[in-house]
């Protein structure tokens, strides 16, 4: 399995279309990033908006799901910051230091987001080339595409295989994210 990141210029972006955590209070904001989230040195790199993480309160930090069926899974949705006049816009924002405190909303059934924080297995039929990926995503109504957690990675994966269990979403639109880059709108259909 060769996982490839969805095409992005720098960092992933996120648009919250309809989410319950802002109303229900299911927000994790006082749990720091684990040591694996360090730019250049960590296993995951920068913590980007749209990543799926688990707040491991017993260990006291945020980490990627250990198993694809981990619950509760939350999505990183930290407000973007403009660093200076040369680095602006949604695509330049990421949490870069272990110990930073990103905002994480615990996913619920029906939550709908648009993001380009995704990866895919480029050996899976329909994802072997950029054109095949785009064609598959454009045909989501006839060939369902799912967004699933990946064990050991905070970046969820696109797949055509419907999971048996765990948290996953279903693609509802191949679209653009707020900064104009290509993205995917998906709805959480299982927890």
Q: For residue 42, what pLDDT is reported?
A: 62
pLDDT the model gives residue 174: 95
* CA 74/CA 171 separation, integer angstroms: 18
The fraction of the chain above a pLDDT of 90, given in percent, is 47
> Is-contact 137 152, C-beta < 8 A?
no
Q: pTM of whole model > 0.75?
A: yes
Contact 147, 156 (CB under 8 A): yes
155-178 burial: b if 16+ Cβ within 10 Å, else e: bbbbbbeeeeebbbbebbbbbbbe
Q: Residue ranges per domain, the chain? A: 113-190
- Burial label for 125, CB within 10 Å (0-12, 13-18, 19+), is exposed
127-186 residue pLDDT tens: 998 899 999 999 988 999 999 999 989 999 999 999 998 899 999 999 899 888 999 999
Region 96-104: what's the mean pLDDT?
78
Q: What is the mean pLDDT of residues 69-76?
A: 88
**Average pLDDT value for residue range 97-112:** 88
> Does pLDDT of 75 surpass 60?
yes
Confidence grade of residue 41 (pLDDT, cut at 50, 70, 90):
low
């Amino acid at each position: 399995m060769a996982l490839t990141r969805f095409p992005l210029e720098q960092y992933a972006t996120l648009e919250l279309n309809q989410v319950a955590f802002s109303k229900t209070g299911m927000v994790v904001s006082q749990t720091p990033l684990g040591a694996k989230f360090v730019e250049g040195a960590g296993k995951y790199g920068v913590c980007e908006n749209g990543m799926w993480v688990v707040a491991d309160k017993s260990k006291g930090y945020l980490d990627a799901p250990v198993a694809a069926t981990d619950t509760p899974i939350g999505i990183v949705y930290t407000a973007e910051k403009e660093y200076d006049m040369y680095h602006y816009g949604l695509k330049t924002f990421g949490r870069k230091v272990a110990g930073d405190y990103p905002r994480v909303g615990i996913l619920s059934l029906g939550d709908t987001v648009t993001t380009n924080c995704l990866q895919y297995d480029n050996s899976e039929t329909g994802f072997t080339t950029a054109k095949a990926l785009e064609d598959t995503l454009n045909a989501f109504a006839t060939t369902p595409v799912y967004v699933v957690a990946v064990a050991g990675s905070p970046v969820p994966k696109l797949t055509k295989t419907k999971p048996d269990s765990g948290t996953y979403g279903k693609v509802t639109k191949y679209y653009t994210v707020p900064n104009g880059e290509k993205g995917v709108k998906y709805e959480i259909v299982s927890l």
